[in-house]
Structure 1
Amino acid sequence: MYELVAPAPGGAALIRRLGRTGRPTGDTECVAQAELPEAVRRIEQRHGPRWVWERTAEVYPALLTAGVEVDRCHDLSLSAAILASSAFVSPAYTPRIGLPGSTDPDAEPAGVLAPGPLSPFQGTLFEPAAARGPGIDELEDELQSQLAAVARSPAASRLRLLLAAESAGALIAIEMQQAGMPWDAAVHDALLTARLGPRPSPGARPALLEAKAGELRTLLGAPRLNPDSPRELMQALHRAGVEARTTRAWELRQFRHPAITPLLEYKKMARLLSANGWAWIDAWVRDGRFRPEYVVGGVVTGRWASRGGGALQIPAEVRSAARALPGHRLVVADAAQLEPRVLAALAGDGAMAEAARGQDLYAGIAASGFGGDRTQAKVALLGAIYGATTGESGRLMPQLTRMYPRAVALVEQAARDGERGLTVTTHLGRSTPAPSARWRASQRTTTAEEQRRGDAVARDRGRFTRNFIVQGTAAEWAECWMADLRGRLRRIRRQGLTAELVYFLHDEVVIHAEEAAAEACAAAAREAARAAGRLLFPGVPVEFPLTVAVVRSYDQAK
């Protein structure tokens, strides 16, 4: 049974009960904005439906603020984005609503962005949507279209699981944002003071960072140098005989000059100040919690992203500020070598699955064919997954192929398909976008030089599709893991104990729990990982072990 929630004029909301195919089975209820949480609570307790709405982020924050949690939902926007490009779905499906945008997987906005409210609709809920968004009839039509598209698919069961996991992820993202990672601003301030100097006045550098800048000016003979200016820094380096083309750390390390070491240190200190300095504390730590905004499916592979705050790249230097409240612990669960294990399961490579059984996967591979050299085994396998098939990885690839032909064949085929402009698809049904205009243009060649460039563009897409199938399926496993874990933590909370998901990073979760519940939470994380493996790959003998640490602060888990 579904309960569809949609905006109505005047800030009200409409609730309509729908059957298995998305068609109405009852009257439409209209409630005032202030009454919606209680209406949802009542229906949730009586019927336990799957709630349907256009975007979870536009409805769920206000419900949570009122103390109302829901068990399940169907996020129409996230589901439409998956179905619109899935090779498992007929091209006849066309979304009737807008699709969410994608976020660059490797970049955060420059500087520190001040956070807004938890949702653009919090406080006024549906009023803005009533003026510009689809109404309840349009959302009902979209749900029916999605359910029909899934039902017609030859991989209907996989798609249903993917849409359920993605929608569960949308609920979890909002719950984690509201809960927030416990964060001690005083500890963070002390870390910054020790590393950079006391908090400076606005526009000034901290004392230790300014001292490092002064050291650079002396060593480079540039008394007016602003080290934060790439142009000025390049000019000063060239005058000092350092003919670097960029100021990237890997390139600077190739030069022997007394200024290189302090320059690299300055860059680390400046990065800490800009990414996680005092402005970051002011912007992102509220009421003792770090509350980032997660973007579910924000990366094309299905991985999550974040908007501001650097949630997916908390540096080691400040992790000790993430610490449990008195009488509580952080339970940090990390899925060990997730992507290589997903590859073994996807390919049905029994030899690789056996190498991972009950042990470190790379150590198992090393013992089987790399003379016990774990580093070589890791380089070879990651080279196969990420497309680094030249150099050391390329040298080791033939041995890896002899040992695990099915696993290597899977990623090689995905790469060849990508080079040819074909679509590749994850285990549950997320497909790559169509080739870009740049790729299409590059394949129309008439000269040898154009052919060379076209081949390079094709290889780039092949590296993308090679990794897409593995990384995307790993993201599916992670969402299934979190969805199962969420249910187990809710059962722990019904015993009157604190147990809340507060952080997620691709293959790692952090739970904030009372000491009395910490071991139960650790067990829940392990059981959920086993359940996710069985759910995605029934009958496939690949283990998905976790490294679990029960700690007082996040840095103690690493």
Structure 2
Amino acid sequence: MTQRTAVVPDPVGSGGRLLSLTEDGTPAGPPQAYADLAAEVSRRERESAPRWVWAATDEAYAWLLDRGAQRLARCHDVKLVESLLLGQEGRHRRPRSLGAAWARLEGRPEPEDSPEHGADGQPVLFAADRHHLPPAADPMAALVAVHAGQQERIAAGEHPDRMRLLCAAESAGALAAVEMGRDGLPWRADVHDRLLTSLLGPRPAGGARPMLLGELALGLQEALGRPVNPDSPAQMLSAFARAGVRLSSTRSHELRRVDHPAAALFLRYKELSRIHAAHGWAWREAWVRDGRFRPEYVVGGVVSGRWATRGGGALQIPRLLRAAVVADPGHRLVVADAGQLEPRVLAALSGDAGLTRAAGDGDLYAALAQDAFAGDRARAKVGLLAAMYGQTGGEAAAPLAVLRSRFPAALALVEAAARTGEAGGIVRSRLGRTSPAPSAEWLRDAGDDDGPGTDRRAARSWGRFTRNFVIQATAAEWALAMLAALRRELTPLGPGPRLVFFQHDEVVVHTPAELAPAVSSAVTAAGDEARRLIFGPTRVVFPLHTHVVECYADAK
């Protein structure tokens, strides 16, 4: 079994304490203090590579790397594991800090979680109001007690092996997140400038609109026949109404259906305005340093297990700006994305024979079309996406009927999840991530058979959420397992290849050019390992499409 070691860095300086633990969390001896904690952690990592146990990876690991520690192979992140276990126990809304978890063990009132950033926007590291430990409490004693309690709760679950794998993958993802934020995605400021200038015009002074946005705003006023602020949805809805166009919102999908010259102008304004706000000049000054975009990832930041970011928009880099992501001289970007991930997850989860057969081919939708839709790939895709996301009417109705007849096990899985959600229940991913339960008020209203139609609509909406949750959360688990495996596969290649970007089902590795073939092989191996870990024996394939490029824009 893997040895475990608890880590408590000092709030200031370079020292801290370590305590060796058995697999179940029992101390194997007294804690030991070290003046240079990073050096001792590195020594133990080289000798035995234990699983490091700490309150939060984004604090402790970053602290160690800042002080010269080598990169570590594995950890147990108490904060992330606590979140998973609270969900498993139906307690999603409880605080998850070390102090809160310890208070629950001791029967004391639980302190609320604090914001992860202070008033100045900087991370709050090891502050008393972050971990919520009583002033006289020993952080090591709290850490050891909470970790041991977590081990007991994992063992008591319905599928302890699956939950252990989920906790390990979530914690490994946290290690990768810290490393990617430090390494950063290569970003060429000069290319970014040229792209912004071509899209928006020269950089304006102060808070003024860029030239092209100003011209589009004037064009909108002329098309609508009145002064209007395109940044105000209320004004735009009113202006369109006066022009004879009734809109329920200013969302792009609704504007695309409008036959009015102002609609096209407004769509273009929205697109460019979003780029200016989210990835313009001010964004670069805040998030790009030393030629690298350095996002702050939030592991498990979405209830389905997908990641989020603390600003920076790392998970939504517009295609128009990907030309600014350029490898260093002598290097390449290995970009890999999983094709049709969620439909393949549905096939593997359900075990549906027909869908599994389709998911054993390179193009799942094409195989599905040949099997059930007379070769019509578009209809096959519409039907399967409708099944996963809960669309029942319009052009989805007929393909759904075909899928229900030809692929009964797959449709039964998502429809059972939807019914559970409509009744106010919870569903779980393959490894055990649990959907949050609706509020007590929602349960009361949705369960009122004599209530207004809005209550049934609310129930159906929650059913659509749980229908997709089982698929999206399991897809997030596959992606986490793939990321963790790839991180390990890259280690023997030396310090050159670096994971620098991750979003949902895509990774980017920045590597010396001569190692690009080895990195590509590592990606393939990682994807296959993730499939085996999450689903066991299955004929469903999860192909990772790999591109070796100098510029990110060339990978698509």
Q: CA contact under 8 A between 2:124 and 2:130: conserved in structure 1?
A: no
Q: Which residue of 2 aligns with 1:454?
A: 455
Q: CA contact under 8 A between 2:420 and 2:426: conserved in structure 1?
A: yes
Q: Which residue of 1 aligns with 2:209?
A: 205
Q: Which residue of 2 aligns with 1:107?
A: none
Q: Which residue of 2 aligns with 1:3?
A: 5
Residues 85 and 226 (structure 1), Cα distance of their counterparts in 2 relative to 1, 3 Å cut: closer
Q: Which residue of 2 aligns with 1:431?
A: 434
Q: Which residue of 1 aligns with 2:106?
A: none
Q: How many residues align?
A: 534
User: What is the CA distance between 1:354 and its match in structure 2?
Assistant: 1.3
Residues 178 and 394 (structure 1), Cα distance of their counterparts in 2 relative to 1, 3 Å cut: same
User: What is the CA distance between 1:241 and its match in structure 2?
Assistant: 3.3
Q: Which residue of 2 aligns with 1:470?
A: 471
1:398 pairs with 2:401:
yes
Residues 17 and 198 (structure 1), Cα distance of their counterparts in 2 relative to 1, 3 Å cut: same
Q: Secondary structure at the match of 1:547?
A: strand
Residues 393 and 234 (structure 1), Cα distance of their counterparts in 2 relative to 1, 3 Å cut: closer
1:42 pairs with 2:46:
no
Alignment of 1:27-176 (within 5 A): 27-32=30-35, 35-65=36-66, 66-86=68-88, 95-96=101-102, 119-121=123-125, 132=133, 135-176=139-180
- Aligned equivalents of 1:157, 1:217: Cα separation in 2: 62
User: What is the CA distance between 1:379 and its match in structure 2?
Assistant: 0.8
Q: Secondary structure at the match of 1:24?
A: coil
Q: Secondary structure at the match of 1:5?
A: strand
Q: CA contact under 8 A between 1:77 and 1:100: conserved in structure 2?
A: no
Q: CA contact under 8 A between 2:90 and 2:436: conserved in structure 1?
A: no
Q: Secondary structure at the match of 1:27?
A: coil
User: What is the CA distance between 1:226 and its match in structure 2?
Assistant: 2.8
Q: Secondary structure at the match of 1:510?
A: strand
Q: Secondary structure at the match of 1:25?
A: coil
User: What is the CA distance between 1:264 and its match in structure 2?
Assistant: 1.8
Residues 178 and 99 (structure 1), Cα distance of their counterparts in 2 relative to 1, 3 Å cut: farther
Q: Which residue of 2 aligns with 1:413?
A: 416
- Aligned equivalents of 2:6, 2:83: Cα separation in 1: 19
- Aligned equivalents of 2:265, 2:252: Cα separation in 1: 12
- Aligned equivalents of 1:470, 1:520: Cα separation in 2: 31
Q: Which residue of 1 aligns with 2:367?
A: 364
Residues 15 and 548 (structure 1), Cα distance of their counterparts in 2 relative to 1, 3 Å cut: same
Alignment of 1:160-309 (within 5 A): 160-222=164-226, 224-309=227-312
Q: CA contact under 8 A between 2:41 and 2:69: conserved in structure 1?
A: no
Q: Which residue of 1 aligns with 2:512?
A: 514
Counterpart of 1:506 in structure 2: which amino acid? H
Q: Which residue of 2 aligns with 1:108?
A: none
Which structure has the higher relative contact order (CA within 8 Å, separation 6+)? 1
Residues 368 and 102 (structure 1), Cα distance of their counterparts in 2 relative to 1, 3 Å cut: farther
User: What is the CA distance between 1:249 and its match in structure 2?
Assistant: 2.6
Q: Which residue of 2 aligns with 1:13?
A: 16
Q: CA contact under 8 A between 2:42 and 2:69: conserved in structure 1?
A: no
Alignment of 1:324-339 (within 5 A): 324-339=327-342
- Aligned equivalents of 1:115, 1:424: Cα separation in 2: 39
Q: Which residue of 2 aligns with 1:441?
A: 444
- Aligned equivalents of 2:199, 2:11: Cα separation in 1: 54
- Aligned equivalents of 2:193, 2:270: Cα separation in 1: 20
Q: CA contact under 8 A between 2:361 and 2:367: conserved in structure 1?
A: no
Residues 44 and 154 (structure 1), Cα distance of their counterparts in 2 relative to 1, 3 Å cut: same
Residues 536 and 99 (structure 1), Cα distance of their counterparts in 2 relative to 1, 3 Å cut: farther
Structure 1 unpaired stretches of 5+: 104-112
Counterpart of 2:81 in structure 1: which amino acid? S
- Aligned equivalents of 1:538, 1:130: Cα separation in 2: 38
Counterpart of 1:81 in structure 2: which amino acid? S
Counterpart of 2:273 in structure 1: which amino acid? A
CA root-mean-square deviation: 2.6
Q: CA contact under 8 A between 2:75 and 2:171: conserved in structure 1?
A: yes
- Aligned equivalents of 2:161, 2:449: Cα separation in 1: 46
Residues 9 and 374 (structure 1), Cα distance of their counterparts in 2 relative to 1, 3 Å cut: closer
Q: Secondary structure at the match of 1:26?
A: coil
Q: Secondary structure at the match of 1:6?
A: strand
Please list the CA deviations of residues 438-467 of structure 1 after superposition, one character each: whole Å capped at 9, or x if unmatched. Answer: 4212135263xx153322121111111111
User: What is the CA distance between 1:132 and its match in structure 2?
Assistant: 4.6
- Aligned equivalents of 2:555, 2:156: Cα separation in 1: 46
User: What is the CA distance between 1:60 and its match in structure 2?
Assistant: 0.8
Residues 473 and 100 (structure 1), Cα distance of their counterparts in 2 relative to 1, 3 Å cut: farther
- Aligned equivalents of 1:481, 1:4: Cα separation in 2: 26
Residues 204 and 430 (structure 1), Cα distance of their counterparts in 2 relative to 1, 3 Å cut: same
Q: CA contact under 8 A between 2:114 and 2:129: conserved in structure 1?
A: no
Residues 81 and 182 (structure 1), Cα distance of their counterparts in 2 relative to 1, 3 Å cut: same
User: What is the CA distance between 1:419 and its match in structure 2?
Assistant: 1.2
- Aligned equivalents of 1:455, 1:260: Cα separation in 2: 34
Residues 275 and 378 (structure 1), Cα distance of their counterparts in 2 relative to 1, 3 Å cut: same
Higher deviation after alignment, 534-543 or 288-297: 534-543
Q: Secondary structure at the match of 1:209?
A: helix
Please list the CA deviations of residues 313-372 of structure 1 after superposition, one character each: whole Å capped at 9, or x if unmatched. Answer: 111110111111111111110111111111111111232111122320000000001010
1:503 pairs with 2:501:
yes
Residues 41 and 413 (structure 1), Cα distance of their counterparts in 2 relative to 1, 3 Å cut: same
Counterpart of 1:191 in structure 2: which amino acid? L
Identity %: 47
Residues 380 and 234 (structure 1), Cα distance of their counterparts in 2 relative to 1, 3 Å cut: closer
- Aligned equivalents of 2:506, 2:112: Cα separation in 1: 25
- Aligned equivalents of 2:395, 2:473: Cα separation in 1: 26
- Aligned equivalents of 1:114, 1:220: Cα separation in 2: 43
- Aligned equivalents of 2:195, 2:244: Cα separation in 1: 36
